[in-house]
């Protein structure tokens, strides 16, 4: 008899499956090698408790390459106010990729305790994203600021955390769940070895939700975008104007009577996408 469960851990051919009755370590049938789909953390599966075997993977909403996690609902995009300085180029890229994967972004500006002189500038930039319909949270793992605002976002979801190295991702997870004891940069540097050397992936249970323990998700993961001509669909700030463009399939680059470009020129819309679209076309 098979029952349904969720893979929350993957380690060298074994899959930790959580189900109503508990947790069991399973293997996957050879079948997966034939079908070309191997189980991923985050997969809902049909498995058997008796022979500790996964028999079937339920259809996925999405699947990321880095970290290898399926059915991701939300991405926590961490950008520090300082050290390193807040930057929007990478953020813009994340937002486009997430839209394509159908993953809800939550922008988290970390290390707020370090923001003094540049606080006003960051707030202005954050407002631009809020106007586009994105949610922005402010946190500090140093002073435990913003954690209570963050918690409700994690409930009932599978989340991944992304952001460049050193922005405070591990510190944030530790602050949310002190029992985790994840290595932060200082500690791993003092041990003289790099972080994230392990190849296993695990979903950590925080706030009745799940969050992948390995950060990942880079701006290079454009796999979900089929072609350059699809790209424009994933800019939220285009969506209000794009239906008014003269040409169907307008890429909003050089076409005449482009409503998106007109909106940018008249400064109604912050043009999130132009630099990204351009760089994508140059590839
Ligand atoms: P990660 O690479 O994104 O996981 O970043 P870490 O969590 O390893 O943090 C990188 C460095 O920033 C460490 O030295 C942390 O102590 C420091 N750090 C993390 N969060 C904060 C914060 O909220 N405030 C301050 N002042 N420092 C922080
Ligand atoms: Zn257009």
Judge if pTM exceeds 0.75: yes
**The length of the chain, given as a count of residues:** 283
Would you state the pLDDT for residue 254? 87
Protein residues whose CB sits closer than 6 Å to any atom of ligand 1: 110-111, 113-114, 140-142, 163, 165-171, 184-186
Could you tell me if 269 and 260 are in contact, meaning their C-beta atoms sit under 8 angstroms apart?
yes
Which tokens go with 239?
Answer: 């969506």
pLDDT digits (tens, 9 = 90+) for 61-72: 998 888 889 999
Residue nearest to atom 18 of ligand 1 (CA): 168
Which tokens go with 192?
Answer: 């003289």
Element (H or E) spanning 170, and its range?
helix 169-176
Q: How far is it, in rounded angstroms, from Cα 44 to Cα 161? A: 21
| Minimum-distance ligand 1 atom for the alpha carbon of 184 | 8
C-alpha atoms less than 13 angstroms from C-alpha of 149 in its C-beta half-sphere: 16
Q: How far is it, in rounded angstroms, from Cα 281 to Cα 271? A: 17
Quick check: helix, strand or coil at residue 32? helix
Would you state the pLDDT for residue 154? 96
Ligand 1 geometric centre to CA of 205 (Å) = 21
| Minimum-distance ligand 1 atom for the alpha carbon of 114 | 26
Ligand 2 geometric centre to CA of 140 (Å) = 40
Could you tell me if 250 and 258 are in contact, meaning their C-beta atoms sit under 8 angstroms apart?
yes
Q: State which of 109, 116, 140, 168 you would mutate to test the pocket of ligand 1, scoring each by most atoms of that ligand within 8 A of its C-beta.
A: 168
| Minimum-distance ligand 1 atom for the alpha carbon of 78 | 3
Element (H or E) spanning 4, and its range?
strand 3-11
Phi-psi region of 244 (alpha: psi -120 to 50; beta: other; left: phi over 0): alpha
Cα 129 from chain centre: 16
Residues 6+ apart with CB under 8 A from 81: 109, 110, 111, 112, 114, 115, 118, 119, 122
Would you state the pLDDT for residue 128? 86
Quick check: helix, strand or coil at residue 148? helix
Of the ligands numbered here, which is closest to the C-alpha atom of 161?
A: 1
Mean pLDDT per 10-residue section of the chain, whose length is 283 residues: 95 92 91 78 96 93 88 95 90 86 94 92 90 93 96 95 91 87 58 48 90 70 66 80 88 88 70 45 40
Of the ligands numbered here, which is closest to the C-alpha atom of 258?
A: 2
| C-alpha Rg value of the chain to the nearest Å | 21
Would you state the pLDDT for residue 156? 94
Q: How far is it, in rounded angstroms, from Cα 226 to Cα 64? A: 15
| Minimum-distance ligand 1 atom for the alpha carbon of 188 | 8
């Amino acid at each position: 008899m098979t029952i349904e469960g969720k893979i929350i851990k993957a380690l060298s051919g074994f899959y930790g499956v959580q189900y109503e009755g508990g947790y069991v370590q399973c293997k996957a049938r050879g079948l997966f090698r034939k079908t070309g789909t191997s189980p991923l953390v985050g997969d809902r599966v049909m498995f058997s408790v008796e022979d500790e075997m996964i028999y079937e993977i339920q259809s996925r909403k999405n699947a990321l390459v880095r970290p290898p996690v399926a059915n991701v609902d939300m991405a926590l995009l961490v950008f520090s106010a300082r050290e390193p300085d807040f930057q929007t180029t990478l953020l813009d890229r994340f937002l486009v990729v997430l839209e394509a994967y159908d993953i809800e972004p939550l922008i988290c500006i970390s290390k707020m305790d370090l923001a003094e002189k540049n606080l006003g500038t960051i707030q202005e930039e954050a407002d631009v994203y809020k106007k586009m319909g994105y949610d922005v949270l402010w946190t500090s793992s140093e002073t435990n600021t913003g954690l209570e605002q963050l918690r409700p976002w994690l409930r009932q979801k599978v989340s991944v955390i992304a952001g460049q190295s050193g922005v405070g991702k591990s510190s944030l997870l530790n602050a949310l769940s002190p029992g985790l004891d994840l290595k932060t940069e200082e500690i791993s540097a003092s041990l003289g070895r790099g972080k994230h050397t392990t190849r296993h992936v695990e979903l950590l249970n925080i706030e009745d939700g799940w969050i992948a323990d390995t950060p990942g998700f880079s701006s290079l993961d454009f796999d979900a975008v089929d072609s350059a001509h699809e790209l424009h669909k994933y800019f939220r700030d285009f969506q209000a104007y794009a239906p008014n463009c003269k040409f169907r399939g307008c890429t909003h680059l050089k076409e005449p009577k482009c409503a998106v470009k007109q909106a940018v020129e008249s400064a109604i819309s912050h043009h999130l996408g132009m630099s990204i679209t351009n760089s994508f076309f140059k590839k």
